[in-house]
Structure 1
Amino acid sequence: MDSVTVSMEVVQWVNRNFPKPRVDRDWLQGCYEWAITLDGVRPNSQELFDIIRLQILKSHLSESLDPTDGLPKDIGHDNTNITLSGVPTLVEITSISEVGSSAFQLDQVRKAREDRIQAGGFDEYDEGDEDADLEVEGEGPLPNYPRSMLAFVLSDGTTQFQAMEYKPLPQLSLVQTPLGFKLQLKAVRIVCGVANLEPDNVILLGGKSDLNQHRDYYLRQNLRERMGLPKEPTPEFEDVEGEIDKNSGAGAPGPPSPPPQAL
C-alpha cells in the first residue's frame, strides 16, 4: 500500500496544539496512515484530530517528538537559572515522589497499602477519588499517602530534568498520576536546574506511557535510595512489543531532595 501524505490541515493542527518540540514527521506519518483506516474516521475530521492527540498523549516522547527541537541540554544543570519563553513545551512525567514527608513515613504507608490491596484483590490505580479511602473487607480503609509537595522528573523525550511544585497542583497525586502523564510548560522558572511548577505555568494534558506498568518498582527504589538502602536488582521488563528491556526507566534521576524545613 502506498503511503498517504499527511494533509496540511493535520500538520497545522498538530503544530498549533503541540508546537514544541515538533512532532516527529515520520511518527506523524505512521499515526496518520493508521488512523484513517479506522471506521468512521474521515480525513481532516475532529475524530482524526482526537485520535492523533490521544496517540501523542499515550506515546513515549522519545519516539513521537523531534529530538532536535527540545529544551536546552543543560536545563537540569545546577547552575541553570532561566525562565522558559515562547510557545508551550510538551514534557512527560517519568518519576513522581512526595518530598514533603519522610521516605520512612511514605514507605510505611506504601507497605500498608500493598498489604491491604493484596488482601482485597483490587488495583489501587483504578480510576476514582484518591481521597476517598478504599475499603478492604475486614481491614478498614486504605491509608492515604501524605500530600505536601510533589517532585518530578520531566522529559521532553531527549532531555530529563527535575521539577517541584512551587505552588500546589491539586490535580496531580502520587497514586493517581501515571508515569508518562503529559503537560506543557509555559514561562516556567528554572532555578538551579529545577523547574518551579504552579497552576499558572503548566497545562495539564493527561495520558500515560507503558513506563507506568512499573511504577511500583520505581517508587520502591526512590524510597530506598532516600532511606540510604541499596536498590533492588533491576528486573527484566517487557516492552509493549514483548521484547525484554533491562534498562527501562533505569537511567532516570530521582526527584530532588526535600527542601529544608522552616524553623
Structure 2
Amino acid sequence: MPAPERVSQWVTQNYPRPTVDPDWLADCCDWISSEQGLSPFSTFHQFIQHVESQLLQSNLEDSTVPGTGLDPQLLVDQGRAGNPGQRSRPGQRPRREKLTTGPIPLLVEVRSITEIAHSAFGLLSTHQTRLDRADLGLAPNTQNPEQDQAADEEDGPIPPFPRGMLRFELSDGSTTFRAVEHRSIPDLELGATPLGYKVRP
C-alpha cells in the first residue's frame, strides 16, 4: 500500500533530491503506524517527525532512488576543473572553479571525514591519547575544548581532534564525491560526527 499522499508531498517538498524510494516510504509509514500507533491523518505532525527521523537515520542507498541526487554533469565538470590538460599556458596552474550542487536542496550522508589543516603526526598523537583516556573511562569535555587541548598528557578528559579544515567523502546514496569546507561548520567535528550523518550542501 503506497504512503499517504500528504506524507509523500511533505517528503518531496522537504527532501526533493535524491528522490525518496516510494516502497521504502510505504514500508516506513506502515512501521510507524503499527509500532508507534500513530496515524498520518489524525496525528500528522508527530507521524511526519518519525518519518523524517527514519529517513535521516537510514542509509540513503536503501531509502532513495538511484540517479536522482547529484547531477552527473557536476562530476564531469569537477574532473575537467582539476585536469592538468586544461591549462592554457605552460606552467600555469589549473583554474579551480567553484562548483555547486544546484539550486534544489540535495541530501547527502557523510562517508568519511578528514582533517587536512593539521599534520598526520599531530592527528595520530591525539588519536592515541583519545584511545588511552577512553580505556580509562574518561569522558570528553565538550563544554571547554580549549581546556582539553591544554590538558596534561597524563590525565584530564578526552581531548578533541585539532580543528582546521575538514574534507569529506559524501554520498547521495548512489554517487560518492569529495567536498571541502568553504567555511568552518561547527556541527561537523572529526571524532564526534558519526558516519552516515546527513547534511544538505
Q: Is the 8 A contact 1:15 1:22 kept in 2?
A: yes
Q: How does 1:11-50 map to 2 (within 5 A)?
A: 11-44=8-41, 45-50=44-49
Shift, 1:128, TM fit: 4.7
Are 1:133 and 2:133 counterparts? no
Q: Is the 8 A contact 2:16 2:104 kept in 1?
A: yes
Aligned mates of 1:130, 1:180 — CA distance in 2 = 26
Look up the SS of the partner of 1:54 in the other structure: helix
Q: Tell me which amino acid in the other structure corresponds to 1:63.
A: D
Shift, 1:133, TM fit: 3.4
Q: How does 1:80-229 map to 2 (within 5 A)?
A: 81=97, 82-119=99-136, 121=137, 128-129=142-143, 131=145, 133=148, 139-185=155-201
Aligned residues: 178
Shifted more, 65-74 versus 30-39: the winner is 65-74
Q: Is the 8 A contact 2:113 2:167 kept in 1?
A: yes
Counterparts in 2 of 1:154 and 1:128: CA distance versus 1, 3 Å: same
Q: Identity, % of aligned pairs?
A: 37
Shift, 1:6, TM fit: 1.4
TM-score, normalisation: structure 1:
0.61
Gaps of 5+ in 1: 186-263
Q: Tell me which amino acid in the other structure corresponds to 1:54.
A: S
| CA deviation vs aligned residue, 1:9-38 (integer Å, no higher than 9, x gap) | 011011011101110111111101111113
Aligned mates of 2:45, 2:144 — CA distance in 1 = 32
Aligned mates of 2:30, 2:38 — CA distance in 1 = 11
TM-score, normalisation: structure 2:
0.79
C-alpha RMSD over aligned residues: 2.4
| CA deviation vs aligned residue, 1:42-68 (integer Å, no higher than 9, x gap) | 123111100110001101100001103
Question: Counterpart in 1 of 2:91?
Answer: none
Aligned mates of 1:97, 1:43 — CA distance in 2 = 41
Aligned mates of 1:122, 1:17 — CA distance in 2 = 40
Gaps of 5+ in 2: 82-96
Counterparts in 2 of 1:60 and 1:122: CA distance versus 1, 3 Å: farther
Q: Is the 8 A contact 2:109 2:199 kept in 1?
A: yes
Aligned mates of 2:169, 2:197 — CA distance in 1 = 11
Look up the SS of the partner of 1:89 in the other structure: coil
Aligned mates of 2:139, 2:24 — CA distance in 1 = 33
Shifted more, 83-92 versus 68-77: the winner is 68-77
* Higher Cα Rg, which structure: 2
Shifted more, 71-80 versus 165-174: the winner is 71-80
Counterparts in 2 of 1:13 and 1:101: CA distance versus 1, 3 Å: same
Shift, 1:89, TM fit: 0.6
Question: Counterpart in 1 of 2:80?
Answer: 79
Shift, 1:84, TM fit: 2.7
Aligned mates of 1:180, 1:51 — CA distance in 2 = 18
Counterparts in 2 of 1:179 and 1:39: CA distance versus 1, 3 Å: closer
Shift, 1:123, TM fit: 6.3
Q: Tell me which amino acid in the other structure corresponds to 2:120.
A: A
Give the structure with the higher percent helix.
2
